[in-house]
């Protein structure tokens, strides 16, 4: 995935996905996980990467927004 000209590695994407598998989570949890994995905060790269990753996961039916929180869907 390329965000604002910065390549996001598969390992960084997996770190973001992993943050969405444990109970309820927020957008900031995903963004923080990406930043800890090395995605730069500058130029809103981590923000946009978290947004895109959550969109992909939602469209795949892996996460849902229920009762004002994001939750992983039962598989």
User: pTM to 2 decimals?
Assistant: 0.92
Query: Each residue of 6-65: pLDDT tens digit?
Result: 999 999 999 999 999 988 999 999 999 999 999 999 999 999 999 999 999 999 999 999
Contact 17, 57 (CB under 8 A): yes
- What CATH class is the domain 2-72? mainly alpha
Domain ranges of the chain: 2-72
- Nearest Cα neighbor of 36 from 24, 25, 49 is 49
Single out the residue of 50, 6, 14, 44 nearest to residue 32, CA to CA: 50
* Exposure letters 50-73 (e unless 16+ CB within 10 A, then b): beebbeebeeeeebeeeeeebebe
């Amino acid at each position: 995935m390329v965000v604002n000209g910065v390549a996001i590695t598969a390992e960084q994407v997996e770190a973001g996905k992993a943050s969405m598998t444990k109970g309820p989570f927020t957008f900031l949890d995903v963004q923080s996980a990406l930043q800890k994995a090395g995605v730069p905060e500058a130029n809103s790269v981590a923000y946009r990467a978290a947004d895109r990753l959550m969109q992909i996961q939602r469209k795949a039916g892996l996460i849902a927004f229920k009762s004002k929180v994001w939750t992983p869907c039962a598989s």
